[in-house]
Structure 1
Amino acid sequence: CPSYGQNLSTSTFIGETSFAILIAILGLVLFAHLIGNMQTYLQSLTVRLEEWRLKRRDTEEWMRHRQLPEDLRQRVRCFVQYKWLATRGVDEEAILRGLPADLRRDIQCHLCLDLVRRVPFFSQMDGQLLDAICERLVSSLSTAGTYIVREGDPVTEMLFIIRGRLDSSTTNGGRTGFFNSIILRPGDFCGEELLAWALLPKSTVNLPSSTRTVRALNEVEGFALRAEDLRFVANQFRRLHSKKLQHTFRFYSHHWRTWAACFIQAAWHRYKRRMTAKDLSMRESFASSEKEANEKEEEHFSPGSNPSQAKLNLGVTILASRFAANTRRGAHRLKDEMPKLPKPEEPDFSTEPDDE
């Protein structure tokens, strides 16, 4: 049982007495070491908590000085609170910067490699380039309701999601009647426009515009790859299998997927219109032939045809013609109401004209 050795009953033998004294001294040393470690741990927690309280107080004073509205103040408070809960005041970037390059690279690969390999383009790269990507990733935190990027704004980074969910939606540049939305979950990524921009050999200095609006549905944690870092990695990979890369880009791109879905939907509507028109044409042809047969039969059996019967046949023909015209008009109206999504530009990742 833990003690200082005070429950040991010794005799007059010097060896037994010395052993009891040694046990008591050892117990005191271990107990003092335990108390010292606990004090150091509590002090470190207290220091971090006090630093966080000071930072929160400074933030409140700054928001009060700038006269920020209450909704913005609440968003700032939520972010500061979430960052404290996620990191406990530990600056991960500072810790990694203080480590040797090889150790820092190994840690980053352990944290990010599986996540990066889920991106189709990166999964085709060799280990050296994957290490370069992981080494340049930085942590990113977002609270619920935060807009990662808005449609039309420049894309500055790619975000790889570790925790949380994001809503990614597009209106195709504000076109009336068009809306597409998907949910991004852990393992997904956003900011593919930046990847296409970095892979193009003749891309401009200006960053690409986002084709989607990405908003956090809850607290989101992930890793971000900035534009300049992605451009460096893409320049190393652009020389490899540009045709294969082009097909991979089109297959996994949300922009191309949206266009493909709209194209298939429009083709299906055109097919339905053709089938409807064909069916109406067959019905009109059948009705016309049947009418001619009835007229010939009436002329053959009754030389004096009934005027009322002729009027009835004429009315049926007029109604059928009106029905066909209304159906065609509705088909043309449906064609006009279908949103027309322009085809995205074909990506060309080749560095040489004869690159295959």
Structure 2
Amino acid sequence: MAICWHDACQRENRCNTSSFGCRDHHALRNITFLNDICPISPVNVGIYITVLQSGILGSTNFFQKFSNCFWWGLRNLSSLGSNLEPSVDGWENLFAAFISIIGLLLFLYLIGNLQTYIQLDTQRIEALRHNMKMEQKMEEKGREIDLWLSKYHIPKELHNLKSKIMTKVRQELEENRNVDLDQIITTLPSEIQKHIESCTPMARLKRVPMLRNMDERVLRTICQCLEPREFDDNSIIFEKGEPLRMMLFIVDGRVSFEKRDGSSSSNNNLQQRTRGAGEVCGEELLLWPLSILFLWDRSLLLATESAKAIGHVEALVLTASDLTRVVVHGDYFVGMICRIFSANELEKATDNYHQSRLIRRDANFYKGILPDDDKTVVAVKKYTYIYDPRAAVEAAVASQTNHINVVRFLGGCVEEEPETIALVFEYIPNGTLFEHIHKEEAAGSFEGSSSSPTALLSLELRLKIASETAGALAYLHSLTPPIIHLCLSTEHILLDHHYTAKLSAIGHWASLSRSKEYFDPNFQEDRLAEKSDVYSFGVILAELLTSQKPASPNSEGEEPPLATSLLSSMEEGRLNQILDGKIIFNEATSETAKQVADLAKRCLRSKREERPSMEQVAVELEGLRKFMAEYQRGEPSFSNRPTSLQP
């Protein structure tokens, strides 16, 4: 506007351009022609048209100028209040500005609320999605926990454990951490951790005394065989006198046991007791593989008491068939061995199982020399194929024995590459009793023995060997469960340099076919099996007295069996005719031989209940042996000779 005025003044020469300053405003008031030359129009003044048209520029009221300019700036800086056309009044302009500002604030508040609502809705949707994902994960973890609880067979009283574990799981998931159940269990209270640990199958197995020191691999194999099973109220689990076909680890519920003392059938003699969660019943089944009877098809142990479920019972079951598979498994074999030999070690010791090292041809026994400081001489029994169940049983049986008159079991070897399974025993160098009695090399003889079996065994020495053998058998029968030799013969009684008897082939069931002359014809594997060893020992006593070989009862045209000959000669009063005259040559030996023959007769009774026990036989033989020793010193008289233990 000032530029337009300067131009107009110059053209018209009617005004002084120097008078356009603010201080000369009084001089400009009458120069009205300038408004005609410089009209106020949008073309000339642009965006300032509104202010110029209001005439406020000429005002000297500062409030009016400020309020109009403030409103003008506020309206043009935003789209608010664009429809408001106030006058030049200052308060009106301030009111318009106030209204616009309030509207702006309300608009901003609305926008803020919309943004908050949108954010909240987004958060709600995200939270819903998160919760859905969380519930899905919790559901998956819930199934996993159920499987975990089922795997460890947690009793019902601990089923609230799931809620505690789920709480921990949710905390871990909320913090976006991986959920490890084993780690979460460690965060639970210590008493719950201990209870959980006690419920694991491995912990249950280790509570059984027989399995407490068992190799971990064997226990893991047994754990894999355990199966959950449920029993209804009053259901019979097993009955007394019936084959014991299972062993139970009680998870929940109680089991009642009943056992009568045998004196009466009245209820007064009925013994009852119960077992609950965490306890075991039927553990006698674990003793089954420790018996030679394990290799018989019908050789299950008989239950000594009845078991019945009280209410609903949940249990882990180990069946007899599963136990058989465990025994055949190589880990069980290794678990029963006190010392593990490598296949390479035994190959070097036996010169790669060379035929020159064969010392017992009927059972693949090889003489070996261990590369230790003492160059220990051992007898290595090699089996033809790996995981032979007979090897596992023989190792299990031999590992339970510790007697001076039983061949000591040293260890074994089982390797798949090269395929090797072998048992290692102490080496007995002086041959078998069969060789010494019959002065010949038997089919199962020991080659390379340091002493010749040509020396005559005196009656006193034979009594010593018989007494030691009887003591070894009595020891085996006293174990739990009783170990039955079942294939006893003079070929399985070894002698060392001092003629000390060493009982061998314990658990070697394959020798039964070769010992049929000694075998009890009334053998029954399920009852009084120990008395079958007594019968076999009676045949050995007859062999010691007569120096005759046991004849086969199935061969035609031969002499009757030795047992039959001894019994018939005693009944007919001609015992002296079959006794060996080289060892029975005076009154003392004759009287002693008669008592030994009487003992043999009692051992050979057809009714097994009437046979003496091996403990009684051992005591009687030891008394006769002491009598012979005193007689050699000239101390006792025949009137003081020991009498029979027969009632």
Q: TM-score range by the shorter chain?
A: 0.3 to 0.5
Based on CA coordinates, which of the two structures has the bigger radius of gyration? 2
Between 1 and 2, higher relative CO (CA 8 Å, sep ≥ 6) is seen in 1
Normalised to the residue count of structure 2, the TM-score between the two structures is 0.25
TM-score normalized by structure 1?
0.43
